[in-house]
Amino acid sequence: MMLAAGPRAPVVLGGVHASRRGKMPAAHRMVWRICSRRHIGQAYDGEGARIFGGRWNHPGTRVVYTAATVSLAALELFVNLDPDVCPDDLVAIPAEIPRAVKVMRVELSDLPGGWRRYPTPVQLQDIGSAWVADRATAVLAVPSAVVPQERNYLINPAHPDFRRIRIGKPEPFRFDIRMWKSRR
């Protein structure tokens, strides 16, 4: 992997160019993660992604998946749920990423064709795993496969700047039961 000099220089992650942003536009960015109440203590440790892998990481690589909004976090979870089960023990946990924490971005135009496929193309896992190994930033902004116009934020819990990210208080979360009604 090559890393070009300068805070905004392009970076190559798993064969895809990413841009390095020095600062986020607002004073901070709020991101969201939804999980079962029994997993609150592990919600931001990346262990689940390490065990199972994900769209943006290979098994063995710790990553925390978050979304730009609670509604996107809900959709990201919903597409992975058993269609017969409406979970009733969920919480939404915000995290505040300070402006001083650098964020690397993967642009939609840089992704390979078919990047939204399921199962996940290995190239995407290469990108995220390379980003974690490189340790250039604590946060990687990626397009959502569910809503490509929106962003998910991967957080590297092993990065030194992870300690600057403030994890908020869990809030109860319930899906609207109508999401499980049968379609005709």
Confidence of residue 17 (pLDDT cuts 50, 70, 90): low
- Give the integer Cα–Cα distance in Å for 96 and 163: 11
Domain holding 43, by residue range, is: 10-175
Instruction: Kindly tell me if the per-residue pLDDT of 21 is higher than 80.
Output: no
- Give the integer Cα–Cα distance in Å for 68 and 146: 13
Instruction: Kindly tell me if the per-residue pLDDT of 146 is higher than 90.
Output: yes
Answer yes or no: is 4 within a domain. no
Answer yes or no: is 182 within a domain. no
Tell me the pLDDT tens digit for each residue of 50-99: 999 999 999 999 999 999 999 999 999 999 898 888 889 999 999 999 99
Tell me the pLDDT tens digit for each residue of 120-137: 999 999 999 999 999 999
Number of domains in the chain: 1
Confidence of residue 3 (pLDDT cuts 50, 70, 90): very low
Cβ atoms of residues 52 and 59 within 8 Å: yes
Answer yes or no: is 151 within a domain. yes
* Pairing mode of beta strands 90-98, 171-173: antiparallel
Give the predicted TM-score (pTM) of the model.
0.85
Answer yes or no: is 3 within a domain. no
**CATH code of 165's domain:** 3.90.175
Confidence of residue 148 (pLDDT cuts 50, 70, 90): very high
Environment class of 117 (CB within 10 Å of its CB; exposed 0-12, middle 13-18, buried 19+): exposed
Instruction: Kindly tell me if the per-residue pLDDT of 19 is higher than 90.
Output: no
Cα-trace Rg, the chain: 16
